[in-house]
Amino acid sequence: MPVASIPSGELAALGAATCWTASSLAFTAAGRRIGALSLNLIRLALGFALLTALCWIRRGLPLPTDAAPSAWGWLLLSGVVGFVFGDLCLFKAFILVGARVSMLVMALAPPIAAVLAWLWLDEGLGAVGVAGMALTLGGIAWVVLERNDGEGGRRRADPSGVALAFCGAVGQAVGLVLSKLGMKDYDPFAASQIRVIAGVAGFVIIISAVKWWGRVLDGLRDRTGMRLSATGAVLGPFLGVGFSLVAIQRTQTGVAATLMSTSPVLIIPAVILIHREAVSRRAILGALVAVAGVAVLWMRHS
C-alpha cells in the first residue's frame, strides 16, 4: 500500500465516524417525528440527489452509467442488505433505545464481518481475534445491561431495541463486505449512488406493500422533521457512506473499520451536550472497552 494513501483512507474513516455520530442524533429526533420507514425513504432520496449533483460536478456523469455489470450486482445487493435491512432495523432501534445505545451495539459490525470472513472465506480468527471479540462483546454488554431509571431503581434497555440495533450491525457488516467486492477501483461516491438506488427501490416496495404513502406525505409536511432528515441525509448517506467507501478503498479494511467504529465514543459528549443525557462512568468505560476490542480484533494482522 503506498504510504501516501494511508492518511487519506484513515482520515476518511474518521470522517465517516464523525458524520455517522452526528447523523444518528439527527435521525433519532427525525424518526420520532415521522417514523422510521418514512425517514429511510426520505433521507435516501435526499442523499441520492446530493450524490447525483456531486458526481455530475466531479465526474461529468450524473449517474453511474460507467460501472461494470458485476459492480452493479454487488453494489445493488450491498444497498439492499445495508440500507433496506440494516438501516431500517437501526433507525427503529434509534427510536426505541436512543442513539447512544444503538451506536454502541453497532460497534459489533467489525467483529461480525470477521466472523463472516471466517465462515465464508476460511480466514481463521486466532487467539488474538477471539480475545478482541470477547472484549468488544463485554464492553457492549457492560453498557446495554446497565439499569438506571433516575430514581435509584434499575431498568434495562429495551431488549427489542437492542436486538434491532444488532440486526443493523449485521446489515452494515455484510454490506461493507459486498461493497468492497463491487467497488474495487471504482469511484466511491458513484458506488454510493448504486447502493442508494437499491435502498430507494427497496423502501418504495415496502412502503407500497404496507400502504404507508400517507405517512410519508405527512412526514414531508413536517418542517422540523424534514430539517432533521435533511441534516442527517447530508451527514449519513451522502458524506458518511461516501467517506466509508473511500476509507475501505484506500486503506486496509480492518483499519478503516476500527476507526469507523469510534462512533460510540464520539457520541457520548454529543448526547451530554445536546440531549442533556446523563452518561454514567460505566457507559463511558463500556464504550471505550468495546472500541478497544474492535481495535484488537482488526489490528491482529498489523
Instruction: Report the C-alpha gap between 117 and 113 in whole angstroms.
Output: 6
* Burial label, 223 (beta-carbon count in 10 A; 0-12, 13-18, 19+): exposed
Helix (H, G, I), strand (E, B) or coil at 251: coil
Task: Enter the pTM of the model.
Answer: 0.78
Instruction: Report the C-alpha gap between 227 and 217 in whole angstroms.
Output: 15
Instruction: Report the C-alpha gap between 224 and 29 in whole angstroms.
Output: 9
Question: Which residues have CB under 8 Å from 233's CB, separation 6+?
Answer: 23, 42, 43, 44, 46, 47, 50
For the chain, the domains span 5-299
Burial state string for 152-191 with b = 16 or more CB within 10 A and e = fewer than 16: eeeeebeeebbebbbbbbbbbbbbbbbbbebbeebbbbbb
Instruction: Report the C-alpha gap between 47 and 79 in whole angstroms.
Output: 13
* Burial label, 8 (beta-carbon count in 10 A; 0-12, 13-18, 19+): middle
* Burial label, 246 (beta-carbon count in 10 A; 0-12, 13-18, 19+): buried
Instruction: Report the C-alpha gap between 212 and 206 in whole angstroms.
Output: 8
Helix (H, G, I), strand (E, B) or coil at 300: coil
Per-residue pLDDT of the chain (302 residues; tens, 9 = 90+): 333 334 477 788 888 988 988 888 898 889 889 988 899 999 999 999 999 999 999 999 999 999 999 999 999 999 999 999 998 898 888 888 887 788 778 878 877 877 776 777 565 667 776 777 777 777 777 776 665 544 334 445 678 989 999 999 999 889 888 888 888 789 999 999 999 999 999 999 999 999 999 999 999 999 999 999 999 999 988 898 889 888 878 776 666 776 777 777 777 777 777 767 677 788 788 778 877 876 776 665 55
Q: Classify residue 242 as left (phi > 0), alpha (psi -120 to 50) or beta.
A: alpha
Report pLDDT for 252: 65
Helix (H, G, I), strand (E, B) or coil at 162: helix
